[in-house]
Amino acid sequence: MSKDQYVIGVDYGSDSVRSVIIDAKNGAELASSVFYYPRWQKGLYCNPAKNMFRQHPLDYIEGLEQSIKDCIQKAGGTSIAGAIKAIAVDTTGSSPVAVNAAGQPLALLPEFEENPNAMFVLWKDHTSVKEAMQLNKHAAKYETNYLKYCGGIYSSEWFWAKLLHILRADEAVKGACYSWVEHCDWVPFLLTGGTEVSAMKRSRCAAGHKALWAEEFGGLPPNGFFTELDPLLNGFTDRLYKETYTSDESAGTISAEWAARLGLNADVVIGVGAFDAHMGAVGGEIEPYHLSKVMGTSTCDILAVPVADIEGKLIKGICGQVNGSVIPGMLGLEAGQSAFGDTYAWFKELLSWPVKNLLRQSSIIDAATAAALEQELLDKLIPELSKQAALLPKNDDDELAVDWLNGRRTPDANQELKGAIANLDLGSDAPRVFRALVEATCFGAKNIVDRFIEEGIPVKGIIGIGGVAKKSPFVMQTMANVLNMPIRIHQFEHTCALGAAMFAAVVAGLYPTVETAMKGMGSGFDKEYIPEQENVAYYEARFLNYKALGGFIEENS
């Protein structure tokens, strides 16, 4: 590359959207910007007690515009903007929304602007547990196994279960819903000025892992499969798609409206979207048979396997195996945990209740001091718990937890399961319980690794990316001990956004393949956690106890 050529990666997370401007020559970051969803921060349209989590499309639109504009300003303004060649986007998933024939989310229409059922149904929304169970029972009646490429079990976190739940729950939305669209498909459609949902380029990643699309089926399962499940689904396959696209392909060029809004040239190319963990695996320089773990509120674990190595093999109990969902020409295998960082956040929220609810009522200190003290305590809580937990002695009867606080994603999806803490006594203080929760999330990770190995897929190494991987040495060292495998931590802070930028560079023609983009733009690893052999045997025994406790919960709940 003889001149400056930049790309933008946009990473939509559960709480915020992050944009980065990357120099395509070497992967250097020029600027980054984070926008926290204002409606989400207020807790609007959510009911955690009912596992209902919805997000308003305006949070996404505002975040897209403001984070990109802020990036451009930080990087140098118009001179930088003129050298931007492409944008690619990743999102959480499955996070679909009801749209009209124009591809517009219903919540953007005046009559639906405050209706949660017309908004994006976030990945961790589990209101469709009943629908997922019904779909699994229904699929068992068919000679063709339509669940064969999604691990054999359909989850309430996924596309069809959520659509059916919304159609059943809301008559008005049902009447206005023409089609059903993933977040990662809608944002490129928005940026390219799409006006007909039938022309939307759908992500191979999203369609294959969450919507039962497969090359073998020639697209989605037939209309009859869905209408026999519930007549409400009649006709949706015709209004969805047959073709899907890998993320090295273009979704189109930026619309005049969005070029003006962002201050970009009219020839900026927009890439086909994908899920965050899949693009994050590319940003983290995934290698064949090396498990990429994106560790945030949940985990999403990705393996890339040469197609020839796995031909005819079906992996039981995972979240899908899809040709081209990570690297075109390779098979992408997905697994994950429904709660990871969310487990620690829940415990932090539990412990901080008096701080949040009583401190500002103090008659001893003024309100400003109380607010400052509250923030200081909350900032220190998890780091101090980690420090104290690491110092604890290890005994056979230590507190033991199961990590299903948001159900179980893999292996063998079951979102009705609940978490548990056992072996409690009067000596069980906060660091001891925190340690048990950390161990539980690491045992959940081992369950996933073991499933791949049991199914004949070797796991040759672990790559850690995401906030927990970068910021939590105690968690990562515990995981290395539990897995008895080294864990390399990718040095780039915003790895999912970097992966999106790598795809953008391919879409712009700056690199011929995803692999060459990874080589040219990758930044390598800055830390490696090595198993402490004196602790490996302890965790091997603890893992058996974890599995026994989990089995008891599953059998008796």
Per residue in 221-272, pLDDT tens? 999 999 999 999 999 999 999 999 999 999 999 999 999 999 999 999 999 9
In the chain, the largest separation of any two C-alpha atoms, in whole Å, equals: 71
Q: How far is CA 371 from CA 56, 349, 376, 529, in A?
A: 29, 16, 9, 37
497 and 551: one domain? no
pLDDT of residue 467: 87
pLDDT of residue 312: 83
322: part of which helix (H) or strand (E)? strand 321-323
Strands, DSSP E only, in 143-298?
179-182, 250-253, 269-271, 274-275, 290-295
26 and 78: one domain? yes
Q: Tell me the mean pLDDT in the region 366-377.
A: 92
pLDDT of residue 2: 58
Closest by CA position to 54, among listed 110, 160, 128, 111: 128
Mind listing the pLDDT tens digit for each residue in 513-553? 999 999 999 989 999 999 999 999 999 999 999 999 999 99
* Omega of the bond leading into 79 within 30 degrees of 0 (cis): no
Scanning 57-128, the segments in alpha helix (DSSP H) are: 57-75, 78-81
437 and 515: one domain? no
3-state secondary structure of 296: coil
| pLDDT for 1 beyond 70 | no
Q: How far is CA 387 from CA 88, 140, 390, 432, 541, in A?
A: 39, 49, 5, 11, 24
The average confidence (pLDDT) of the chain is 96
Q: What is the DSSP letter of 408?
A: B
Domain that holds residue 485: 341-491+526-556
505 and 433: one domain? no
Asked if the structure places residue 155 within a domain, the reply is yes
Mind listing the pLDDT tens digit for each residue in 328-360? 999 999 999 999 999 999 999 999 999 999 988
Work out how many domains the chain is built from and give that number.
2
- Confidence band (pLDDT; 50, 70, 90) for 41? very high
pLDDT of residue 28: 96
Asked if the structure places residue 323 within a domain, the reply is no
Q: Which residues have CB under 8 Å from 39's CB, separation 6+?
A: 45, 55, 56, 58, 59
Q: Which residues have CB under 8 Å from 253's CB, separation 6+?
A: 192, 266, 267, 268, 269, 270
Cα separation of 374 and 33, whole Å? 26
Asked if the structure places residue 95 within a domain, the reply is yes
CB atoms within 10 A of CB 339: 25
Q: How far is CA 344 from CA 10, 131, 550, in A?
A: 26, 29, 19
Q: How far is CA 277 from CA 127, 303, 434, in A?
A: 23, 11, 26
Q: Tell me the mean pLDDT in the region 101-107.
A: 98
The rounded Cα 348 to chain-centroid distance in angstroms is 22
Q: Tell me the mean pLDDT in the region 357-374.
A: 90
pLDDT of residue 188: 98
Place of tokens 């091997």: 540
- pTM, full prediction: 0.92
The rounded Cα 128 to chain-centroid distance in angstroms is 18
Cα separation of 529 and 77, whole Å? 40
263 and 372: one domain? no
Strand partners, 321: 333
Strands 330-337 vs 299-306: parallel, antiparallel or unpaired? antiparallel
Asked if the structure places residue 399 within a domain, the reply is yes
The rounded Cα 156 to chain-centroid distance in angstroms is 15
* Omega of the bond leading into 411 within 30 degrees of 0 (cis): yes
516: CATH: 3.30.420.40
Cα separation of 283 and 519, whole Å? 10
Asked if the structure places residue 297 within a domain, the reply is no
| pLDDT for 14 beyond 90 | yes
17 and 133: one domain? yes
Q: Tell me the mean pLDDT in the region 134-150.
A: 96
Mind listing the pLDDT tens digit for each residue in 428-455? 999 999 999 999 999 999 999 999 999 9
Give the Cα-Cα-Cα angle 439, 440, 442 (nearest 5 degrees). 65
pLDDT of residue 39: 98
Cα separation of 438 and 197, whole Å? 43
Mind listing the pLDDT tens digit for each residue in 397-423? 999 999 999 999 999 999 889 999 999
499 and 470: one domain? no
Q: Tell me the mean pLDDT in the region 172-189.
A: 98
461 and 407: one domain? yes
Asked if the structure places residue 316 within a domain, the reply is no
Q: How far is CA 129 from CA 2, 80, 156, 161, 163, in A?
A: 54, 47, 5, 8, 12
CB neighbour burial string for 15-50, b if at least 16 within 10 angstroms, e if fewer: ebbbbbbbbbbebebbbbbbbebebbeeebbbeeee
Asked if the structure places residue 543 within a domain, the reply is yes
500 and 535: one domain? no
Cα separation of 367 and 365, whole Å? 7
Q: Which residues have CB under 8 Å from 509's CB, separation 6+?
A: none
78 and 157: one domain? yes
345 and 225: one domain? no
Scanning 244-285, the segments in alpha helix (DSSP H) are: 256-262, 276-283
DSSP letters of 221-240? PPHHHHHHH-GGGTTTGGGS
Asked if the structure places residue 226 within a domain, the reply is yes
Torsion of CA 513, 516, 517, 520, to 10 degrees: -160
Cα separation of 182 and 163, whole Å? 11
Q: Tell me the mean pLDDT in the region 15-31.
A: 97
Cα separation of 87 and 102, whole Å? 23
Residue type, 247: S
Contact 330, 389 (CB under 8 A): no
350 and 280: one domain? no
